[in-house]
Structure formats: C-alpha cells, structure tokens
Amino acid sequence: FERKIMLDTRFLKDMMIFLTCVIIEICRWVVNDDRVFVRRPTFWLRICLVVFFGLEYIVRLWSAGCRSKYMGFCGRLRFIRKPICIIDLIVVVASIVVLSVGSNGQVFATSAIRGIRFLQILRMLHVDRQGGTWRLLGSVVFIHRQELITTLYIGFLGLIFSSYFVYLAEKDEKSKDGENDTDFRSYADALWWGVITVTTIGYGDTVPKTWMGKIVASCFSVFAISFFALPAGILGSGFALKVQQKQRQKHFNRQIPAAAMLIQCLWRCYAADKSFNSVATWKIYIKDTSQPNQNTSTPLGKYLQKLRNLFTRLRSCFRRIGVILRVADVF
C-alpha cells in the first residue's frame, strides 16, 4: 500500500490527474459562466473529480488495515490524523460544499465561499503524496547548511550596512526649492530599497539621487547581490549531486543480485573440490559416481534403478507434449 517507488505508469497517471485539475480550474474561473455549453461540462467534470477523490479516500481508509499499526478503529483514526489524509478530507469536503452551494453558476462574493474555493487547490498535492520532493529539498538544504548559513549571514550584513550608508548619504538631499526631496526618509525606507535591490526586482519607487549614494549603491549591487545569488547555485549543485548519488545507488542495487550469484557459484566450486578443508563453512555433498553404488549391485536395486529411469523418461516426454500443445494454442 502506497509504494514509495514511483513507476513510470504511476507518474504518468499522477501527471494526468494534475493537468486535468489545472485545466478544469482554469476553465471554471476564466471562461464566462454565462456560456451554458461550457459551464455544464465543467460542472459534471468537477462532480466526477469529487466522486473520484472521495472514493479514493474511502479505499485508502479501508486498505490502511493491511498494516498492523492501522488495524481496527483506533488504527483508522491514527491513519486519518496523517497530514496528507487531513488534506484529502479538506479537499473533498470543500469540493462538495462548493458544488452544492454554487451549482447554479453564480459567483458568490462572500469571504467564506472564496476561502472554501481556495482549499480546492490543495488537491494538486496528490502528485507527490509521499513527499519525496520535500524530503529531497530538505536533505539538500541539510547537507549544504553550512554554506547556506555563511552566504546568507554575509549577505544580510552587507544589506544592513549598505542600507545604512545609503540612508546617511541620501537623508539630507534637498531640491532646488530647498525642500527635502529624498526618498530615504527613514532607515526602513533604506532597508526596503536594499531588499528590492538584492532580489533584483527594482520597483524604482526608491532610488538614490546623490553621487555618494549612487557610489554606495553601485558597490552594494556588485558585492551584496553576488552573495544573495550564491544560495541558488549551492542548491542547484546540491540537487545535481543528490540525483547523481541516487543514480549510483540504483546502479549498485542492480549489481547486488549478480554479485551474490557469483559468490554462491564460486563457493560451490570451492566446496566441491576434494582438497577443500575449510572449517569456516560446511562442505557441499557431491555423490561420487566413479565408484559403484551398493544399492544397485543387487537385483532389487537394479530393478528400482530401471523404474526410476523409466519415470524420468516419461516425465520428460510429458513435458515435451505440453510444450507442443502450448505452441499449438498460440498459433
């Protein structure tokens, strides 16, 4: 139940469900509701999705009993308390409420209905039920935590000091009329300008106007932005290394059965040797066919040996007949 190994077919199924949800939501919100030929198909499609997710939730709740910790009534309650199960229940209930209240196609302006409509977006979390994406991100951040902390620490120091220097250079800027014409009326405005600058958004609502402020802003843009851009490169390289590590582990796991079979065959070769005197393991038993068997030296033993050979031949004959019949059924 809930395999952690995502196969190609399951991944395609999840992607199709995800794309279907996105397309239906876009059609529901973008297309004009006055068009009946568009509203009715999307309405019935949403009903099908609600039924599908509801049945899936019930089946998961029923099949959870195959694990010992989810058996019985208390086990089912423990399964329902899982975060992903709570999200599934919220999505199903929100979809039922929206369909039952807004089935006539009207857009309700109440905040409660708008909030319930927003909860339907949570159904997109079905694409990654096991949370493999978040675990991968968490492992990468944990491995490179020292580099990330160092770059963010230096970057925030540069942000604080540069914003303060720009504030000192710009706070007394006067216009030609002698009025205060600066955009940096407080240190908070300078910090806002610093955040917008290091994130490379650049709204343009707060800009330095003096030469001293422009020089400080130029130095800040060269050094601080580079430090704030380093976490993206660190995380990118971390993701690449993690994926490469998983590929190596997968390749290594494929080699384990072949290596085990090779070791077993090599052990049989050594154990079958007459000069094998190791006491670390037991010695394989091989019947010596060079010496005559005492059981076959008597007339009764010879008769039993003939019967055994006859049964062996009959069994091989029946096998061949079965193979011929299977081939005939194919053609």
Tens digits of residue pLDDT in 213-272: 888 888 888 887 788 888 888 888 888 888 888 888 888 888 888 888 888 887 777 776
Q: Give the residue-averaged pLDDT of 53-70.
A: 83
Compute the distance between CA of residue 31 and CA of residue 24 in angstroms, rounded to an integer. Answer: 10
> CB burial class (10 A; 0-12, 13-18, 19+) of residue 64?
buried
Contact 94, 121 (CB under 8 A): no
Compute the distance between CA of residue 327 and CA of residue 305 in angstroms, rounded to an integer. Answer: 34
* Domains present along the chain, CATH in parentheses: 8-130 (1.20.120.350), 140-250 (1.10.287.70)
Tens digits of residue pLDDT in 170-201: 887 766 665 666 778 888 888 898 888 888 88
* pLDDT given at position 252: 84
Q: Find the helix packing angle between 8-30 and 36-63, rounded to 10°.
A: 140
Compute the distance between CA of residue 6 and CA of residue 88 in angstroms, rounded to an integer. Answer: 20
pLDDT above 70: residue 11: no
Q: What is the rounded average pLDDT for all residues in the chain?
A: 75
pLDDT above 70: residue 6: no
DSSP conformational letter for 323? H
